[in-house]
Structure 1
């Protein structure tokens, strides 16, 4: 995560960072997603960002937490990695929004293609409405979830369920 933060602070794309470090774009992507880089990769990144190697190594020694699977790290753990809890939550939210927009683009392209295929093969019977309707419902729920319109299974619900299973009263 600190690699991504440092890259964004400098206004560099992943491609630019890859050129500056001599690493592949795929390697940069993997490092930013939490995979442990090799010592050569860390040295190249530390040299480009002009930070001590130990700062990058501290981040990679921390376990990666995914949302919902493990408890969130403490604020002190984030400060060693260079990211606050709020920054990490915002980055995750932006990633989710990006995923939703990507989903919308795929939906529009594939549904358009299905209509073209449908109209060229059997214009008398429009069957492309069905995938459009089914996938559209899924897309709508994805949007509602990403933009937190309804929080049926949000943090408050999770807390109630944990308390319930631990036998505690709220």
Structure 2
């Protein structure tokens, strides 16, 4: 049980680190885009398209890691398996 718990905790930590890397790259790249946009084409603001679409992906990543993932645990999975097995027995 200890090894299984450790693997789950390790996976969860890796997922969180992955999100933070995604966030840091989002900020860094979009700051560069804002500067590039201001310097090379100040009359045409295009950076916000990249920021908006990438931001949507970042929000989805956040929701997956911090909002929905904690609710879907092994107990939930086990209950779903049992439910499916009951359905199959009835057929």
Give the TM-score band, short-chain normalised.
0.7 to 0.9
Q: Pairwise mapping of residues 30-45 of structure 1 onto structure 2 (< 5 A)? A: none
1:92 to 4, 8, 11: 11
**Matches of 2:35 and 2:56, distance apart in 1:** 21
Q: More helix per residue: 1 or 2?
A: 2
**Matches of 2:54 and 2:37, distance apart in 1:** 17
Q: Rg: which structure is higher?
A: 1
2:20 to 97, 101, 119: 101
| Residue 120 (str. 1) matches residue 39 (str. 2) | yes
**Matches of 1:134 and 1:97, distance apart in 2:** 21
Q: Pairwise mapping of residues 1-170 of structure 1 onto structure 2 (< 5 A)? A: 75=1, 84-147=3-66, 149-150=67-68, 154-155=72-73, 156=76, 159=80, 163=84, 167=88
Unaligned runs of 5+ in 2: none
> CA, structure 1 residues 107+157, in 2 after alignment: closer, same or farther (shift >3 Å)?
same
Q: CA RMSD in A?
A: 2.7
Could you say which structure has the greater relative contact order, defined with CA pairs below 8 angstroms and 6 or more residues apart?
2
Shift of 1:124: 1.1
4+ long deviations beyond 6 Å: none
Shift of 1:121: 1.2
**Matches of 2:50 and 2:89, distance apart in 1:** 45
Aligned length: 84
Shift of 1:168: 5.0
Q: TM-score, normalised on structure 1? A: 0.43
Shift of 1:88: 1.0
